[in-house]
Chains A and B, each alone.
Chain A
Amino acid sequence: MAHAETAGPITAPPAEDERLSARILRFLGRAPVHIFLVVIGLLWLVPTLGLFLTSLLSPGDFGDQGWWQLFSEPSKVTFENYEAVFDNDTLISALFTTLIVAVGGTILPIIVAAMAGYAFAWLDFPGRDWLFILVIALLVVPLQMALIPIFSLYNKLGIFDTTLSLILFHTAFGLPFAIFLLRNFFIGIPRDLMEAARIDGASEIRIFLRLILPLGLPAIASLGIFQFLWTWNDLLVALTFCRETQPITVAIFSQLRQFGANIELIAPATFVSLIIPLGVFFAFQRYFVEGLLAGSVK
C-alpha cells in the first residue's frame, strides 16, 4: 500500500466507501484542532470587540456591568459617546493632526527612498555596497538615540511642536527600511527592460519615472501601508516633540490619568483611532503581508 502511494498520484482510486470512511476518520481526528482554532480565534477577537462594545455603553450602564451586558440587553446601545467625541474639538483636531502626519510621513519617505533605492539598484558609483551596508546598519538604530539631540535641534530651529517636525522625523526613521525594501524590489526588475530603455536614449530620470516607479508599484504599495500604519500609530515621537499639536494617540494619552472614570471618552476615541488603520489593513492586506515577507524573509 505504502509503495502504491509513493509511486505516483495516478493509482487506482480506492473503493468509494473506504475513501469516505477514511475521510470521516481524518475529519474526526482533526476535530480537536478545529475546535482549538475556533476558540483561539474567538479569544483573539474578544479584546477588540470589548473595546467596541464598551464604547457603545453609557457611563451609567458601564458602571453596572461590562460590555457583555449588551448581549442580553442590546437596547442599551447608545451612540452618545461617539457624538461627544465628534463634538470634542481637541479630539477632532487631533485626528486631523494624525492624518496630516500620517499622509506626509508616508509620501515623503516613499519619494526619497524610491530615489535612493533606484540609485542603489541600478546606478554605478564608488562605494555603493558600503553605503548600502550603512543603510542596513541604520535599520536597527533605536530611535531613542535620536530623541534628545533632535529635541534640542527642533528647539533651535523653532519647529518644535509642529506637524512638520513629526513628518521629518518619521521620514528619516522610515528610510532605512524603505530603501532596503525598494532597492531589493527594483533590483529584480528585468535587466533587458533597463538596457532597452537606455539604448533608446532614455535619460536615467526618465527611466526612473516611467519604468522603475510603475514597475515598482507593488513594493511601493507595501511600503506605503507600513509607513502609514507606523506614523498613524506613533505615540513616542509625538509625545516627545509636541505639546499643543497633539495627534490622536497623545490626546488620548493625556486622558489616561483618570482611566476608569472616563472610559466613555477613552473607549470611543481609541476605537476611532484604530478603525482607520484597521480599514487600511483590511483593504490592502495582501500588500501588507507581502511587504512583511519581503522585509523579513527574502
Chain B
Amino acid sequence: MQQTETGLEPESVASPVESVARDEAIIQVDDLNKWFGDFHVLKSLNLDVRKGERIVICGPSGSGKSTFIRCINHLEAHQRGRITVDGVELNEDVKNIEAIRREVGMVFQHFNLFPHLSVLENCLLAPIWVRKTPRNEAIETGMHYLERVRIPDQAHKYPGQLSGGQQQRVAIARALCMQPKIMLFDEPTSALDPEMIKEVLDVMVELAGSGMTMLCVTHEMGFAKTVADRVIFMDGGEIVETAAPGDFFTNPQQPRTREFLEQILQH
C-alpha cells in the first residue's frame, strides 16, 4: 500500500464545463491529477456523473482510462483534486474509503474471483462480512443475482470449473450482491474468447436497462452505441472529447478522436 501525498486540495468550486446540475451528480470529479513516480498519468480530469447515467470510456492503451476508474473506488490514490462519490469525499480516511467501496461495485478484466470459494460463496463473502447480512438472506440475494446473470445452476461449482464468460458473469453477480449504487467495469470483455463476449455484454445491457449508474472502460463500440448516454475519449491522461454516442461516432470533433475511431472501426 503506497502512501502518497494528498495535499493541495483546491477550493470547492463548481466545475464550469459540465451541464449537469451539481446536486444531481452521484460522482463528482474535480481537477483529478495522478502521478506514477514522475509520470503524469491523469491530468486535471473533470467529470460529473448523474444518477442512472451510463458512461463508456475509451481510448488507446496507456491513456489512463483504467487508472481513472480505479481512482473512483480508491484502488489507486490520487495526488491532487477531489473525488466525491454519493456525497462522501474520498480522502485517506479508511472509513470513507470503505463506505464508498460498499456503494461502488467493480468488475475487472481478469474476473478476480476467489478461487478457494464456490461461486455462491464468492457472492456471499462481502454481504456477510461487510453488510452483516444473515446467511439465509445473503444466499437468497446471491441466488437472485446468479439467476439474473443466468448461471444459478453453477452456484456450487468453483471458479476454476467455469468458462471465462461464466466467470465474468459471476464477477458481475458478486458485485451486484452488495446492491451498489454505481458499477465500474474495467475492460470486462478484453480477456474473453470472442464467442463469450456476447453473453457478458447481454448481462451488462440488461443491467443498464435496470437504471444502474455505470462507468465502463471498454473497446466494445457496439455496446457504447446501444447503451451509453455519454462516451468519453481519453488520450495521454486527458479527456479529449465527451459526447453522446450518436455525435461521437458520426461526428467526432477532435482529430485525435477521429484517428482512434478509424483505427478501431476499420474492420
Partners in one complex: no
